[in-house]
Structure 1
Amino acid sequence: MEQPCRTEHTVSVGADMVPGMGTEVVRYKYRLRPDALAERALIEEWHRCRFLWNEAVHQQKTGRKPNFTKLGTMLTETRARSSWLREGSQVAQQQMLRTYAQALDASFTVKGRGRPRYKARKKALPSLEYTRRGFRIRDEQLVPKGVTMPVVWSRDLPSEPSSVRITRDSLGYWWASFVVTRERQLIPAVEEDSRVGIDWGVTQTATATDEQFDLPHAEYRRRCSAELAKSQKRMARRRRGKGQAPSKGYQQARRQVAKVHKKAARQNRHDGRAWATRVVDEHQLLAVEDFKPKFLAKSHMARKAADAAVATMKRELVERGRRAGRKVVLVRPAYTTMTCSGCFARAEQPLGLGERIFRCWACGHTACRDRNAAGVILAVAERGHTGVDDVGHWGPPPSGGGSGAV
């Protein structure tokens, strides 16, 4: 049997394990191998769904305020007029409009989330979603409307899938992501007072209060930079003028660029999962800096910050911690590098990025800048807060004992 296309950590059953409670809803992802006819049908279905998405965006831009009810009415009327739309799956088209309605609602309620945009024919990657009445699994093949595709069953499904999302990545590979229900996995039993603080950075991706849980900066993208630059130059040379169809050589060069990017991303994701599993298995309280690396995109650290993949590491740690039933506290990063983890005194001036040692003016405490910040983050979380300013005074945590930060 082939190896699973998605790496998952498996906990072996032992004397120090406790069973998880209940069930959980997860996604199981598998590789698809559609033939030329099936791939053509999937692309046609995607164009129909993309047309409906763009029509919904147009309605929103013209001030008609579409919701899912209005979009459903629009779909019924449009399918009645268009034989091209009737050739496709109504389920996939409904799900596309449902996704649009959810994205539009989130743009009003989630900070920083923009309005849904048009999906360009040459830029947007295909993505189709089917509920249970829109597909079947027959003879170990996935059968949405009018399409039959072999699936690489790298592992068994734990239950009947409630929905499936079919996507194509930048390398041209097709994937099926099934939503299933499974029993919660066994998790290690840890002491209630086991806790760790995590500070994110660029020089070192993650600095913990306990140095054995630090995550060094692997610099995978920097290692691929020479190969990436060579592929990008080849792609630029083979680019045709505006309005002309891309050549086969250009498509090959673009695929090579995507392959290099995917390689670095996979390596970062693998390291993040292994590190997050190790941290979660050893601690009950995870105090994590709520760091948002988006602002670094316009600084001189943009390339190194992207290479560190802080957002990926943070997402893996938070998701695995919550899935394992750990207490995860996100602490705002404001003043964490200016505050002493020993006496909680705050420096008058921010530390420059070149200054890697923190020295407290009040108590004389000296520590690594990032290690001190991790200690402050943990101390804030121990006191039940999410920001340095929320802590009125410095004292022992409610559970007793110090934070063990330094």
Structure 2
Amino acid sequence: MTAADAPGDTAPTPDPPPPAAYPPPAAYPAPWKGWAAVLAVALAIFCLITSELLPVGLLTPVGDALGVSDGTAGLMVTVPGLVAGLCAPLVTVGAGRLDRRLVLCVLIALTAAANLAAAVAPGFAVLLAARLLVGVGVGGFWALAGGLAVRLVPQRHVGRATALVFGGVPTASVLGVPAGTLLGELGGWRAAFGAVGVLGLLALAALLLLLPPLPPTRDVTFRELPALLRGNRGVRAGVIVTFLVVTGQFAAYTFVRPVLQDVSGIDAAYVSTLLLGYGAAGVGGNFLAGARDAYRAVLVISSALTVVLGLIATLPGAAAGTALLLAWGLAYGGVSVSLQSWMIKAAPGAAEAATSLMVAMFNLAIAAGALAGGFAVDGIGAAAAPLTGAALMLVAAVTVSLTVMVRMPRATAADG
């Protein structure tokens, strides 16, 4: 049952856009090539997110080698996140009439080169400059790739294809970052950056071989972005919900280690293993959410995270902490694909513009969440981080509820 069928709604959720609203699938001699292209994009997303998060496990060795503190080394994570948020709309508009296949290949090549440059960086300034380029690649690629599924597979498979593309996000957390950290321990941090650079070159080769020409379906202008926010209630609500959910997530997750140790009483030796379990649950959550109605999925996710984060902040005990952490991963794993599907459904005629707004807010909210959680932990204690996240998730759930109770316009002048 969709939100439109739910009893008690004063107005139904808008119906899915008609087939004419979607760009036609790319022409292939065989249908499997569309899915091969989807896999190539998923590999590139995996590489990009691994690149963005890799320094999380390498802060201390990088700091020791280049003579900076752990706090300063943390800029390797902060800088690309902020740059990605700014570049998502800039790249979307700047791409203009360029073939999207060309733009995506340039962005993944830039990311690969940035990682290889980081591997040989003589000092922290050069390394940070390379990380800035990673932010350009992440923000631009994500904004353009998020809406590609509708052009690569038939309409009935778009949900699953989008879930597959965004499966690269939790998979990078489960496999990419731990593998990079392990490689850093075995061969040094430079080897870790070099390996991700080589992975980027492999992703580039896959895109060149498998992705068909993708001419733009329409131009995106800077004037259109604020117009889309003003004129499309669904896009506006999606951007607000993105801010609330992602800020709430990173207010809590940034400090998950002290929460597990101080509140749940879990031994530090087991935290890394539990976080792998969290990531594995996230992969499952991604594919579960990808097959669901976007509005209903975001409502369920934000409601579930309100409860889970509230409980993990207040229930002591290793068993409770472990169970809640896995539930947390399962719920949050569906966020990226659900928000992406929300934006495509809200503005099917302006998917790139809508996605760029979501990606910009997503990455900026990561920084905002970490900052909010830091203030909460410093001022009150570790438990305050998930409580802050729970409060934001509750506001998100209310926002989604109000959104699905009001019929959103199917088409506006802003979304074409």
TM-score (norm 1): 0.30
Higher strand share: 1
> Which of 1 and 2 has greater Rg?
1
- With a CA cutoff of 8 Å and minimum separation of 6, indicate the structure with the bigger relative contact order: 2
Higher helix share: 2
